[in-house]
Amino acid sequence: MLHQYKNNGYNIVLDVNSGSVHVVDELMYDAMAVGEKLIGEIEAPIKLDDETKAKIKDALIDKYSEKEIDEAVADIQELIDVEELYTRDTYELYINDFKERETVVKALCLHIAHDCNLACKYCFAEEGEYHGRRALMSYDVGKRALDFLVANSGNRKNLEVDFFGGEPLMNWQVVKDLVKYGRSLEEPNNKKFRFTITTNGMLLNDEIMDFCNKEMSNVVLSLDGRKEVNDAMRPTRGGKGSYDTIVPKFVKFAKSRGTKDYYIRGTFTRNNLEFSKDVIHFADLGFKQTSMEPVVGEESETYAIKAEDIPKIMEEYDKLAVEYIKRKKEGRGFNFFHFNIDLTQGPCVAKRLSGCGSGTEYLAVTPWGDLYPCHQFVGKDEFLLGNVFDGLKRKDISNEFKLCNVYAKPKCKDCYARFYCSGGCAANSYSFHGSITDTYDIGCELQKKRIECAIMIKAALAG
């Protein structure tokens, strides 16, 4: 399967099943398309026969010279020989092993506080409460969660724990105590914890920043961009804007991170479809690691992204990509999470098949210790998996997640992006279709566009 597209003056061809990415001229762009119709998908290299070569020539002779077409055919043959063109998807054969795989728990999203000091209008956690009551996680529940993680992580060495909310800084002492407890578990169990925290910044202070710089491998800082955009969607509970309080703190925090990661992370909605300006605003504030996600919300919400918004959003990704390249070339580049793509050292096929790991490798823990497949399922009773005291009780639900992969999703089978997104977000699929093996269609369109931009950027920066 090929995916061909043109973007920012580049002709790009993805050979989906080998993962190879080719940047080609106009002639080759046309020749590869003709070749695909004639050759289809092949499991092993073949030699192009005279009949096929003649058909390619016939299809292209009105536009290109005989000599040029011969060169294109030679290039096609060369790529077939090294298995980088017209390759067949042979990974489905691997899927049986995949289904039988032993999974371990390697990451927890600890809902350290089901409470928040902001009242963001699009919050899927309903201002921190997740359709339930306000609550803070006790140290005891947190300890049991870390014990559960160690006990269920098999031989996996690196364990991830994200302090999430609500707003985790509203329960800061417990965060600190749990980090200390986690560190005490490392040596005796041959584990390494990677702690991360996602915060709105309202309660950030020097002591918290110092602690995070020592202990947290990544911090995710929530901000939506320009002041008017941020303040419209991220007010305080008293209705005031949050931008002026948090931005100076985030700027200071980001500068102090040293070699440790951070992300300034925003959400864009139908109200600010010109989100490229908000990402550029991040860059202008001096942030080097940025992320901006489309909001996911009920279709009835006025801020929800609608299908008719897709063309505008695509245009924005294109604009952002052009500026991104420009600034990189000028030596003042920044990273945008969704444009990160590692074409040579990226995830293996096993990872690409298994997706985000929700429900198996990745679980969310509520303040009172209940386990859910991920933070977005919290509060949905039908997905309650067990708790940190008694362990996983609903293996049937975990198994459903374990078997959820790109081949289990009919819409993914013919999609070129399946090995990049791994079938998309199960929670979004469930929200829109009531099934984890469907897909959130608007999300898919945007995801595909981001992948196209990310690959085009690679081409632009390689040349």
Partner 1 sequence: MKHVVTLNEKTLKESLKRGGCGECQTSCQSACKTSCTVGNQGCENPNR
CB 314, CB 59: distance < 8 Å: no
* Min separation Cβ 6 and partner 1, Å: 15
Q: What is the dihedral of CA 450, 320, 431, 17, to 10 degrees?
A: 0
Does 357 bind partner 1 (CB under 8 A)? Our answer is yes
Extract long-range pairs of 430-437: CB within 8 Å, 24+ residues apart.
430/377, 430/380, 431/296, 431/376, 436/400, 436/401, 436/404, 437/404, 437/408, 437/409, 437/410
Q: What are phi and psi of 264, to 5 degrees?
A: -90, 120
Residue showing tokens 């578990």 = 185
Out of 172, 250, 268, 362, the only residue in the binding site for partner 1 (CB under 8 A) is 362
Size of site (CB under 8 A) for partner 1: 92
Q: How far is CA 249 from the centre of its chain?
A: 26
Q: Which among 297, 292, 265, 266 has a CA at the least distance from the CA of 427?
A: 297
Cβ closer to partner 1: 114 or 244? 114
Does 405 bind partner 1 (CB under 8 A)? Our answer is no
Does 83 bind partner 1 (CB under 8 A)? Our answer is yes
CA–CA dist 77, 176 (Å, integer): 60
Kindly identify the residues of this chain, within the stretch 101-130, that bind partner 1 according to CB under 8 A. Answer: 101, 104, 106-107, 109, 124
Does 66 bind partner 1 (CB under 8 A)? Our answer is no
CA–CA dist 174, 167 (Å, integer): 13
CB 124, CB 157: distance < 8 Å: no
Q: Among the candidate windows 83-91, 200-208, 244-252, 382-390, which touches partner 1 by CB under 8 A? A: 83-91
Cβ closer to partner 1: 28 or 137? 28
Out of 299, 340, 393, 395, the only residue in the binding site for partner 1 (CB under 8 A) is 340
Q: Among the candidate windows 131-139, 178-186, 301-309, 353-361, which touches partner 1 by CB under 8 A? A: 353-361
Does 341 bind partner 1 (CB under 8 A)? Our answer is yes
Out of 171, 276, 422, 437, the only residue in the binding site for partner 1 (CB under 8 A) is 422
* Min separation Cβ 238 and partner 1, Å: 26
CA–CA dist 438, 406 (Å, integer): 10
Token duo for residue 109 = 């999203």
Cβ closer to partner 1: 107 or 388? 107
Out of 81, 94, 180, 413, the only residue in the binding site for partner 1 (CB under 8 A) is 94
Q: Among the candidate windows 112-120, 131-139, 192-200, 271-279, which touches partner 1 by CB under 8 A? A: 192-200
Cβ closer to partner 1: 353 or 397? 353
CB 69, CB 61: distance < 8 Å: yes
Kindly identify the residues of this chain, within the stretch 226-255, that bind partner 1 according to CB under 8 A. Answer: none
